[in-house]
Amino acid sequence: MFGVLLFLLFFSVVSFLFFARQKWWIRVSTQSPQCTYYFGPFNSQQEAIANHQGYLIDLEMEGAQGIDYKIERCHTPRQLTIGDD
């Protein structure tokens, strides 16, 4: 019984540390140019939602087309801009 309790405590601590490092990011995909952009990090989903429109407007003003976005919680992306180079 003690072993199970100890395992559950260990699993809880590891899970907390894993998710505590994750932040909220806005992932924007465009068809032309074919790119994926990450904007963030944000401390909360509400903060990302409050700021996403400005990034979309900037991309539209730069001529991007086929813009789609998703707000997600994840670790820091390795690249903030991923193009079809």
Q: Mind listing the pLDDT tens digit for each residue in 6-40? A: 655 655 555 554 555 699 999 999 999 999 999 99
DSSP codes of every residue in 24-77: EEEEEEETBTTEEEEEEEESSHHHHHHHHHHHHHHHHHTT-BS-EEEEEEESPP
pTM: 0.75
Q: Mind listing the pLDDT tens digit for each residue in 52-65? A: 999 999 999 999 99
pLDDT band at 1 (very low <50, low <70, confident <90, very high): confident
Q: What is the pLDDT of residue 12?
A: 57
DSSP reduced 3-state for 81: strand
Q: Where are the domains of the chain?
A: 23-83
What's the CA gap between 83 and 29, in Å, rounded?
10
What's the CA gap between 59 and 54, in Å, rounded?
9
